[in-house]
A and B are shown apart, each in its own frame.
Chain A
């Protein structure tokens, strides 16, 4: 079949099951956009390429399929890079297709030429520069395979404009891919599984650390069975949230810098850590020298380079988490750790008195209130995307996620501006779902132009702006570590209600807790995207906090105020 390179692009996307592509046209990818009109794939025109990258990323995280974003050469491609790096750090299966200048001009500093494969080398799992039409099909097929297999990640394919325009005889190749240097190991080695089971049998205070690998390998059921049978409690990483129900009695909550106090304390007291698809990020471990000093460690990860990277482990198992847990479950006996679980429960009780939910009302609206009420209102069923900062941590603490693939946040890179485009991407992955972007006033303004994308697409996402008039997390660090010298953190914002209205959308403002519920109801019953401007307490901080590099057990706690524990009948 004689096809142009541009047509081959869409042929491969069709075969890969792509239904929606996020992007922005320009000079160097015009042939691809022209060919697009003949294919039944929906294109979402974004307002900035960063938005397209985040949308593709979130689409992938919600749907489990590969997310696709497109941009033109030069500035189009460089605008993608923040989103590509975000997808890289969070192992999100994505394919980025960029136009490149005509092949004979490559290297001559042509108009809108940038060395895109050079720029994206360290922020992609792999990338390609395609100069010839004949290579496009095979390269794109490889790109999808590499993006979704092993430890998933972004793959970028940069295609010269003439390669898009020229024609070639092309048939879809059905033979298995042969990549000599790329062979992810799915199946664990028996010997290491045996060693792990031995350590589990000896442990008195074991603790599972569940990361995003649970979600990426679809190991939710296996994890639950494992935890229940061995009676081992689970601590979650930020990206692991949703891999194990928050309401499950064995789920302790989030670990790390803003993790629950009892979780971090448990890690420090544990005699065995079972790290499942997580990578001991510095935000999770604090000071490595004093991290989990009594614990032996078992680490399961599909990426061999993660084993022994940050934390030296006793047993490192390379393999797909689901396959590995299935193998372990064949031999895992029923165990009892009731003393250990009881001890953790006691620590939990001590922490509850400091929870802002249990403080007497002081007339102020706190972010925790808003997020808690949103959780109650949506029954925990909404897809939540967040931006980065205080609101993100509060959302992780107070929106209790029971189901997988509905908690979408930028963890590794901590990308402000992620929340709104991620919500749009999530909505395309699950059009039936209620989607809420919880964002701060700072991050929202980085990509607020994507409201226009939502309006043009006629989709409904809900944006809860946790508006405290500060770059809150940076302000908090200034309060704790820089003597309250608020350098460049007070932020004046536009009227978010009018901003929504300017886009033909709906906006509300909420300043008192008693108005939260009715605003949420109004948002739900409004057609189209809604922005709610929640004016919250300006100088509230996220607690507990392990200062960067400090010992995990040395947390800054919320100051004790007149707590009214007796009346704390809330299920929190």
Chain B
């Protein structure tokens, strides 16, 4: 099944390459990967969707921790989390079908962000299934171009994901979560 991992990495040159190279070398397929800044200076956050059973993902997390620039890895798959994908879709929208498309956009709570005589660009945010559904509905109108960001995810509740070192210099989670089955 697909797992959603959140990987906090040091914001240094080549880190994306290290992570991507690890997936290649250890024969894991990345379904989607997003990278961006976080609330912590010097830390970037990757959200990676990867296919694999629980054992394989446990291995993958252990390998990720071997990378010196990887600070923390969490598997949000079995947690209560918000997962969002963003899509920009350029669709054919001549006057005769435009109203119909606008109604669909309304139903999905999308936004029209660009308009020409013959086309629209629609922005839609939501979980993967919602966007997949929207794309299917739009397809008969003629999709000219589409881009999706890939999933970003965040656990629900008030606690932060990243917990800096405690006084003993021991990392939060890290080795315990790996050696326990």
Contacts and interface: CB of A to CB of B under 8 A. Distances in A.
A316 B175 CA distance: 10
Contact of A181 (B13, B21, B71, B175): B71
Interface string B16-52: 0110010001000000000000000011000000000
Given A121-B17, A122-B25, A181 B179 contact: no
Contacts of B21: 121-122
Contact of A129 (B13, B67, B176, B178): B13
B65 A305 contact: yes
Given A307-B179, A317-B179, A180 B71 contact: yes
A181 B58 contact: no
State which size class the interface on A falls in: 20 to 34
A185 B14 contact: no
Contacts of B176: 189
B59 A181 contact: no
B179 A129 contact: no
Interface string A98-141: 00000000000000000001100110011001000000000000
A14 B27 CA distance: 41
A181 B178 contact: no
Contacts of B9: 181
Interface in A172-208: 179-183, 185, 189, 192
A118 B17 contact: yes
A308 interface: yes
Contacts of B42: 180
Contacts of B179: 192, 304, 307-308, 316-318
A84 interface: no
A100 to B, nearest CB: 14
A309 B70 contact: no
A11 interface: no
Given A180-B10, A181-B71, A303 B66 contact: yes
Q: Which of A192, A305, A307, A312 has the most CB of B within 10 A?
A: A305
A117 B21 CA distance: 12
Contacts of A303: 66
A552 interface: no
Contacts of A252: none
Contacts of A121: 17-18, 21
A318 B66 CA distance: 13
A182 B171 CA distance: 9
A20 interface: no
B84 interface: no
Given A125-B68, A189-B176, A305-B66, A183 B181 contact: no
A171 to B, nearest CB: 23
Contacts of A309: 59, 62
Given A121-B21, A122-B25, A316-B179, A185 B65 contact: no
Interface string B144-181: 00000000000000000000010001110011101111
A274 interface: no
A305 B63 contact: yes
Contacts of A192: 179
B98 to A, nearest CB: 47
Contacts of A181: 9-10, 67-71
A305 B178 CA distance: 8
Given A117-B14, A121-B18, A308 B66 contact: no
28 contacts: A121-B21, A122-B21, A122-B25, A125-B68, A126-B68, A129-B14, A180-B10, A180-B43, A180-B71, A181-B71, A183-B165, A183-B170, A185-B171, A185-B174, A189-B176, A303-B66, A304-B175, A305-B62, A305-B63, A305-B65, A305-B66, A305-B178, A307-B178, A308-B181, A316-B181, A317-B179, A318-B175, A318-B179
Cβ-closest 9 pairs across A and B: A316-B179, A305-B62, A318-B175, A181-B71, A126-B68, A304-B178, A304-B175, A182-B68, A185-B175
Given A146-B68, A181-B69, A308-B181, 20 more contacts: A117-B14, A129-B14, A180-B42, A180-B71, A181-B10, A181-B68, A182-B68, A185-B170, A189-B176, A304-B62, A304-B65, A304-B174, A305-B59, A305-B178, A307-B62, A307-B179, A309-B59, A316-B179, A316-B180, A318-B175
